[in-house]
Amino acid sequence: MNYFAHPTAVIDEGCEIGEGTKIWHFSHIMPGSKIGERCNIGQNVVVSPEVILGNNVKVQNNVSIYTGVTCEDDVFLGPSCVFTNVINPRSAVNRKSEYAKTIVAKGATIGANATIVCGHNIGAYAFVGAGAVVTKDVPAYALIVGNPAKQTGWMSEYGHKLQFDKDGNATCSESGECYLLLNGVVSKQ
């Protein structure tokens, strides 16, 4: 075994777990899931079948990641955030054939207690605030908050709100990296 799993964690046969990953107390990794290298899976996390987590994904305590979700490298999932995978679930109606896909792109952050309604993608380095309910796609670098979530700004790759000048230029206060806002799209310069 090239990863660590706490003795209380349940690791089903048929999943892949990358080198250096840590899986903590009472978490359940289900068959067919793929977890990359150097991930940290917190306490009481469910990783459902066919979920894909890239490298260096941080999953905080009490997170449910359901079938249909893919998280790219360097994603942060805050405590108790949750993903859905069916738009209109009913206990008595089997809708496994209707699971919708959700992609959380590289470097994105999802805050504590946020809910991601299935079929909506989160762009690279986007920042979903705590308690937000995502009901539509989130652009790269966007800062979104509320229920339903609405965009209130743009974030740097270091997680700082960007202040764009009249020419559409901004600088991250921590890294000094420069960003351009052009036609509603942010890119790093």
**Confidence band, pLDDT 50/70/90 cuts, at residue 1:** confident
- Domain coverage including residue 128: 1-155
Same domain, 114 and 44: yes
**Confidence band, pLDDT 50/70/90 cuts, at residue 140:** very high
3-state secondary structure of 96: helix
Number of domains in the chain: 2
**Confidence band, pLDDT 50/70/90 cuts, at residue 170:** very high
Same domain, 145 and 178: no
Quick one: how far is CA 54 from the chain centroid? 10
Same domain, 62 and 123: yes
Same domain, 120 and 56: yes
Strand 127-128 and strand 142-145: pairing? parallel
> What's the average model confidence in pLDDT over 152-164?
98
Q: What is the CB-side half-sphere exposure of residue 76 using CA atoms within 13 A?
A: 17
Query: The whole model's pTM is what?
Result: 0.96
Same domain, 186 and 145: no
Q: State the residue for tokens 């351009």.
A: 180
Alpha carbons 181 and 189: distance in angstroms, whole number:
10
